[in-house]
Amino acid sequence: MTVEAKRAAMQRYVERVDAGDIDGILALYADDAIVEDPVGTPALVGRTAIERFYREGLGRSNARARLTGPVRVAGNSAAMPFRVELEWDGKPCAIEVIDVMEFAEDGRFQSMKAYWGPDNLEQGR
């Protein structure tokens, strides 16, 4: 998989989050992928757990997303900073996050780790 293809996959992820396209997001993941969002929480393993995470988190949040810096590619992984604005518990907020994806041989995400914590969460946008 080329560096350009990895960058494009990362961009598609942000575009699909921005569009609220959960099925499109799920299509980017390998069937046995692992998601840790945020890092330090229990890992979600496999399509069913990952789908539940996105449907519960993004499905009701009116999320908007945009890249805030360049996508960086190193080896079989890529990282990107982006901002997600959403409704959390009925209140507007924004999260500044860095996602790191590892790629499976077929070009889908084998793993995703989201680096963010309370100091990256802005209440009231």
Q: Could you give the residue numbers annotated as active site?
A: 13, 37
* Residue owning tokens 């100091």: 119
| H or E stretch at 74 | strand 72-74
**CA 20/CA 34 separation, integer angstroms:** 21
Long-range pairs of 103-107 with CB within 8 A, sequence gap ≥ 24: 103/1, 103/6, 103/9, 103/76, 103/77, 103/78, 104/30, 104/33, 106/30, 107/1, 107/5, 107/9
